[in-house]
Amino acid sequence: MSHHDERTFVMVKPDGVQRNLTGEVITRLEERGLKLVAAKFMQIDEDLAQQHYGEHEDKPFFDDLVEFITSGPVMAMVWEGADATRQVRRMMGATDPAEAAPGTIRGDYGLDLSQNVIHGSDHEDEGANEREIELFFDEDELVDYARADEPWVYE
């Protein structure tokens, strides 16, 4: 990991998995030059969902959010790259797909505020990326490797 790289937590939500968009999301992140360092296809239980979305526990939509994110399997991942957290958020687009720009993942595939395909750590929430990575992955599940194209992608 070079000095300007950071890691961010990304998840294809249950709607994205059901709609066969897992590969599309991975392809977009790969083609953008981000590097995959961990992936886990898994079912989130209620306890993990409540921790992951803990910042929203007082919001009226919290119970629906927990129910939705536990409604089917997700693809949880860690991606690495320069300014990765913010870059992924830009690629995701606005939370509400109706407001998300065309060309963004939510703008192209999102259906509604719940079924918005993808989660990414909030770049405006300091340390959210590291907290979420720790919540979903053990240290030894983060794969340390060099990729052949690393020198030219960011230079």
The answer to whether the annotation marks 131 as part of a ligand binding site is no
Q: How far is CA 79 from CA 7, 32, 91, 153, in A?
A: 6, 11, 13, 15
41 binds ligand RTP (CB under 6 A): no
Helix, strand, coil percentages for the chain (3-state, nearest 5): 40, 20, 40
CA atoms of 137 and 140, how far apart (whole Å)? 8
- Which residue number, 102 or 139, has a Cβ lying nearer to ligand RTP? 102
95 binds, among ligand RTP, Mg ion, none (CB under 5 to 8 A by kind): ligand RTP
Instruction: Pick the closer one to Mg ion by CB: 128 or 150.
Output: 128
* Closer residue to Mg ion in complex, CB, 122/150: 122
Taking the C-alpha atoms of residue 23 and residue 94, their distance in angstroms, rounded to an integer, is 21
| Residues at the interface with ligand RTP (CB under 6 A) | 56, 61, 65, 95, 113-114, 116, 119-120, 122
Residue ranges for the known binding site for ATP are: 13, 61, 89, 95, 106, 116
